[in-house]
Structure 1
């Protein structure tokens, strides 16, 4: 396998340790997305280029955890098929005592004290297509609806334990994890492997280096053999196929914190916002867009709601396009970094088109707005979703 992209020349890591065996992911039987390992049946996924979006309506028969075979896939390039026996995690940089690179094997990572944490992972662009279809505003990027999100029970080592084992210095201010997938090339420019800095305060807080997902080793598409899980932050922070981490006494940057994953547009500073970190709040109906419902019959409709800021406090629903609202029934105890399932009953009498709405309010007082603040790359859509159905 090729070595990692070149690091800074002064005091940097010339080449981080790479797995002894790695291949490009084959096309799974029945799949239509090159470079994704698992099958992508159309009743569970919508393929979007190198990515696979979970069908939100397919979550209805799952519990709080998203099964791995229904979890969305966000790939910049292709899923690497790696060998844990040859895998090494390399920590390096001037933010380490001694400044010499430190290597951890897969076995050494698993020997560290483990934690289990249930958390959502959500792409920063989840809901992006709704800027255009619902608000009439142009954006760039993968046209996700609401399915670029999933919840899992992650098990691994605390990142702070990994950093302390490597000898993080007291004056370190940033870490930059980097993945082992192929270099990302766009417009003829090689941006290197996917990487994005984290402030040390977040890295030492609740971040884990995960090696299990829902009680099983990570699947290839979801970061095997090890990945970061950064609760409440945008999905790009949860680097998959973790290969090395730079530890620095100065702020760090990458294209994923300068060119991407910032907010640009008329509502934002001329040079763009600061790099985005925390996700936002959303809700959605577990029902296909454009579904047909029978008039004169009582329907039990379900959905999910979540917020990266605080536990969900309530969900309100409207079956008449927002003219009237009523509370939905919550089926789970709201918790940090998770979602809640909700339901409502509706007996429509008038045939024709109708619009269903759901609105989340969290314990911090955040409420889904009628419109999301536009940005040109379509991040952090948080508006109430207008869900069209037909009553027949």
Structure 2
């Protein structure tokens, strides 16, 4: 039995109070180092140009990434590869693995499924550690779920380019997202079989990629706690992506899928899971993946959980359109909250808006494709805008509130084009 589920907001308020009082355990890193990292996170810094180098014909891949990264599909950004949104135009609802963005903190590890073992352990279990082999995991009842994964920093570059605000981190545009059909075992099923106790409060999955070193501090392997209420809800331990075994860059042999939550929660290459009767902290829910800056407390906001609302055109920046002809413009919108209800587009820089046509049934945790017609009359530069509304009534704003690490940009993006 687990404790009664609490709302995300209540959980976040509780953890924030525990963090402030020093009541939570900092798993794997000295608390003084965490405090130093939190202090550094509150300072705004320019986007690092070296983290945003465009791909070229002579640079088809990236050290530490297994799959090819051709320039027509990806833009390379440090250890990461951003999907070029124009490359999604003919892909359907699901993002093929060869076009799915790559977010690596270090490099993609090679893990043999035959030798892989998932260890579930910790003070939140009735007994000692429990191991699951790959075959044992696949023998459990499976679930298939369509869900997007999106980096919390997706859209970060627009804080600078649209709002003239400095932020730190990878200079993503809008391509740090992909939607796939994931198959795996419910995390709740594994936790029950491991003997989760009713006193458990946090579940901490940890990846098998290399340890992360930041400014001389070893942060350890990537890990981020989930509240038990979320872990026992809709989270998957996935071993298939779009009907095929997980590719190496996307978490093989097993990864977490945490629907609608920020990408960091979807730990890749899971090797062990700590179940704790005590609140847990890691760098990825203290100095990282909180909101810092004006309007936030010194220790930052509560840890980020649900994703926000966004829209993107399936067009290259500066795409050209012939004047006097009818064009079909396409795009996608998504929300980490309620399903998308409607999308409006503007082809005159935001003076007039009209509804786009939705191509998919809106669903929680997935995106919707949409189309609109455009017959430009005059030549010259132009700006296209798309603005989504979800079923909770949330509408994309004109401006996103600033935070120093550039998370959760949700404002309407101005997409520059040329009419010739």
Is the aligned partner of 1:217 residue 2:216? no
Deviation at 1:8, TM superposition (A): 8.7
Aligned partner of 1:129 in structure 2 is 157
Q: Secondary structure at the match of 2:185?
A: strand
Tell me, yes or no, if the aligned pair for 1:45 and 1:53 is still in contact at 8 Å.
yes
Write out per-residue CA displacement over residues 248-273 of structure 1, whole angstroms, 9 at most, x where no aligned residue. Answer: 11111100000100000102222210
Tell me, yes or no, if the aligned pair for 1:267 and 1:374 is still in contact at 8 Å.
no
Q: Secondary structure at the match of 1:89?
A: strand
Q: Secondary structure at the match of 2:281?
A: coil
Tell me, yes or no, if the aligned pair for 2:219 and 2:283 is still in contact at 8 Å.
yes
Deviation at 1:30, TM superposition (A): 5.6
Write out per-residue CA displacement over residues 5-59 of structure 1, whole angstroms, 9 at most, x where no aligned residue. Answer: x9599xxxxxxxxxxxxxxxxxxx9634110000000000001011000001110
Q: Of the candidates 351, 354, 358, which is equivalent to residue 382 of structure 2?
A: 354
Is the aligned partner of 1:75 residue 2:120? no
- Equivalent residues in 2 for 1:1-392, closer than 5 Å: 31-98=60-127, 100-392=128-420
User: TM-score scaled to structure 2, two decimals?
Assistant: 0.86
What is the CA–CA distance in structure 2 between the aligned matches of 1:113 and 1:374, rounded to whole Å? 44
Where structure 2 has 5 or more consecutive residues not aligned to the other structure, the ranges are: 1-26, 31-57
What is the CA–CA distance in structure 2 between the aligned matches of 1:79 and 1:270, rounded to whole Å? 34
What is the CA–CA distance in structure 2 between the aligned matches of 1:120 and 1:41, rounded to whole Å? 22
Q: Secondary structure at the match of 1:288?
A: coil
Q: Secondary structure at the match of 2:89?
A: helix
Tell me, yes or no, if the aligned pair for 2:339 and 2:362 is still in contact at 8 Å.
yes
What is the CA–CA distance in structure 1 between the aligned matches of 2:125 and 2:295, rounded to whole Å? 40
Write out per-residue CA displacement over residues 327-356 of structure 1, whole angstroms, 9 at most, x where no aligned residue. Answer: 000011101100110000100011111110
Q: RCO (CA 8 Å, sep 6+): is it higher in 1 or 2? A: 2
Structure 1 residues 303 and 239, CA gap change in structure 2 (3 angstroms): same
Deviation at 1:180, TM superposition (A): 0.1
User: TM-score scaled to structure 1, two decimals?
Assistant: 0.92
Write out per-residue CA displacement over residues 188-214 of structure 1, whole angstroms, 9 at most, x where no aligned residue. Answer: 111000000000000000000000000
Tell me, yes or no, if the aligned pair for 2:312 and 2:333 is still in contact at 8 Å.
yes
Q: Secondary structure at the match of 2:86?
A: helix
Where structure 1 has 5 or more consecutive residues not aligned to the other structure, the ranges are: 1-5, 10-28
What is the CA–CA distance in structure 2 between the aligned matches of 1:128 and 1:378, rounded to whole Å? 5
Deviation at 1:151, TM superposition (A): 0.3
What is the CA–CA distance in structure 1 between the aligned matches of 2:171 and 2:121, rounded to whole Å? 37
What is the CA–CA distance in structure 1 between the aligned matches of 2:373 and 2:173, rounded to whole Å? 24
* Superposition CA RMSD, Å: 1.3
Tell me, yes or no, if the aligned pair for 1:300 and 1:343 is still in contact at 8 Å.
yes
Tell me, yes or no, if the aligned pair for 1:267 and 1:373 is still in contact at 8 Å.
no
What is the CA–CA distance in structure 2 between the aligned matches of 1:92 and 1:351, rounded to whole Å? 64
